[in-house]
Chains A and B, each alone.
Chain A
Amino acid sequence: MDFLFNDYNARIIINIGIYIIMALGLNLITGVTGQLSLGHAAFMSIGAYTSSLLSMKLGLPFGVALLGGSLTAAFFGVLLGFPTLRLTGDYLAMATLGFAEIVRVILTNLEVTGGALGLSPIPYKTTMPLVLISVILIVFAMARIERSRFGRALLAIREDEIAAETMGINTFRYKIVAFALGSFCAGLGGSLYAHFITYINPVDFGFNKSIEILNMVVLGGMGSIPGTILGSVVLTIAPEFLRFVEQYRMLFYGALLVIMMIFRPNGLLGGVNFTDLVLKTFGLKKKKKVNGSSEKEGVK
């Protein structure tokens, strides 16, 4: 257990946790609901700035700041969703990208956000237990969503929006809710990030950050919760492991992505039914319990 308390490792673990939260949010929007968003970092920055201002300027308790940051991000998610979620595919990607740039420019030019200098010092409040609890709660929530009527509606939208609509799903409303939830996660991650790094400026939340989070989802396997977690872990620690190649670090990082996409185009865990896999590994696979079914399971 000692290594956990090593400062360097602890920082990496907290970082991983924060990215898992944000990546799971984007996974809900892009992986589950199929709406390509290139502006996830904008919601992260909204959460980061809101929570920082709440704790710095208003001196509010950390918990309130955290919730405030997350809810504000969710609110902006809904606000952005109304005009843009009528768009699909590439158009939505462009709109979210544009939104992220607008947010970044506004943050750079507002006085209250400290302009290009950003905000500091933000109180250092983010602890490992807090991050771990947040991760567990988000994973739990996402897993429950995945196996519910609500989650199936989101999947249906990803698979075929017109068919989803004719099955009685109000696709627009569901997309808005998914966007709000995803943005909430980004805001939560951003709030934790700000109170961990203690210094934020607009450059931290540029297009690169959005792509980095998207990479985690794609690399892990779109729509897969374990995949997204794995993607976040791999891509957060990859730069650390690649320190030995010094200035070629980003080159290796890029090569890693290319290789992964060639060998696992659906992501590391894309298309893997994780529950089944675990059950099979431990020899616990049972016959699926299904009510009211009369027919016997055929041997495959």
Chain B
Amino acid sequence: MSLLQLKNTTIRFGGLVAVEYVDLTIEKGEILALIGPNGAGKSTIFNMVTGIYPPTEGNIYFSGEEITHLKPYQITARGIARTFQNIRLFKDLSVLDNVKIGCHNHTKSELWGALSRLPAVKKEEAEITDKALACLELTGLSKKRDELAKNLSYGEQRRLEIARALAAEPKLLLLDEPAAGMNSGEKVSLANMVREIRDMGLTIFLVEHDMKFVMGLSDRVVVLNYGRKIADGTPEEVKKNPDVITAYLGKDGV
């Protein structure tokens, strides 16, 4: 059984069809990249998978369970976490607090816990701190933990988004243009970090524009154009696909 499965997924915004009858599967443990020209519907697919926009048609299954019309927090609870293309950190909170909020998903104490601060609550709070620090360690941000998120550099903010998503202990991690705005050195270490995360047992689904980054990192690549899937295969297969070449370079580009 595939970890994530999209069946005939379609979304229309008024008259605009952003994603049309897309079928897509992700197997456990793979790194799958979703590529395509601007406006192809890549981020929209992410938004459908994470419940921000419910699809107009079609179904989405995660570990065999239908998640099509669940709310974002319910989908996160089932094991999907994501980062955002246009960084959405909690800007005025510290780096550590950002990641601690990521732990919300698998912790329990509520208002009563906050007020009573019983031993169980304190223990949970300590576990949250440990988990958050481990995620910061993995993303190389430990030294920045007391900074406000908004004071981090662009590349650090992207890594903090990953740390925050990891803190949710997902099975599937969605990365929306993780390498955007990074220099080539940062991209190399990002690719290594993504492999490391995969080796921890997570499945990675990423959208990325940087072809070199995608081709070097992914096990499989899916290409989207005008909301339709035009190719699906290994990086080598996709590179040779005439439809893909047309989509990227135009008809006479070859």
Q: How far is the CB of B12 from chain A (nearest CB, A)?
A: 21
Chain A residue numbers with a CB within 8 Å of B89 are 159-160, 163
Q: Which residue of B lies closest to A266 (CB)?
A: B92
Interface string of B119-146 (1 = CB under 8 A from A): 0010011101110011001000011001
Question: In the complex, what distance in Å separates the CA atom of A144 from the CA atom of B121?
Answer: 12
Question: In the complex, what distance in Å separates the CA atom of A291 from the CA atom of B124?
Answer: 12
Q: How far is the CB of B174 from chain A (nearest CB, A)?
A: 9
Q: In the complex, which of the residues A149, A152, A171, A177 has the most CB atoms of chain B within 10 Å of its own CB atom?
A: A149
> Are B88 and A162 in contact, with the CB atoms below 8 A?
yes
Question: In the complex, what distance in Å separates the CA atom of A156 from the CA atom of B101?
Answer: 7
Question: In the complex, what distance in Å separates the CA atom of A166 from the CA atom of B101?
Answer: 11
B-side residues, CB < 8 A to A, are 50, 52, 71-73, 76-77, 81-82, 84, 88-93, 97, 100-107, 109-111, 113-115, 117, 121, 124-126, 128-130, 133-134, 137, 142-143, 146, 164, 168
Partner of A166, one of B72, B109, B125, B126: B72
In the complex where A168-B105, A298-B143 touch, is A151 in contact with B91 (Cβ < 8 A)? no
In the complex where A156-B101, A163-B90, A164-B101 touch, is A148 in contact with B82 (Cβ < 8 A)? no
> Are B128 and A149 in contact, with the CB atoms below 8 A?
yes
Partner of B126, one of A171, A181, A288, A291: A291
Chain B residue numbers with a CB within 8 Å of A145 are 111, 114-115
Q: How far is the CB of B31 from chain A (nearest CB, A)?
A: 21
> Are A155 and B90 in contact, with the CB atoms below 8 A?
yes
Partner of B124, one of A149, A156, A298: A149
In the complex where A150-B111, A162-B88, A163-B89 touch, is A168 in contact with B129 (Cβ < 8 A)? no
Chain B residue numbers with a CB within 8 Å of A90 are none
Question: In the complex, what distance in Å separates the CA atom of A155 from the CA atom of B113?
Answer: 17
A251 within 8 A of B: no
A1 within 8 A of B: no
> Are B168 and A155 in contact, with the CB atoms below 8 A?
no
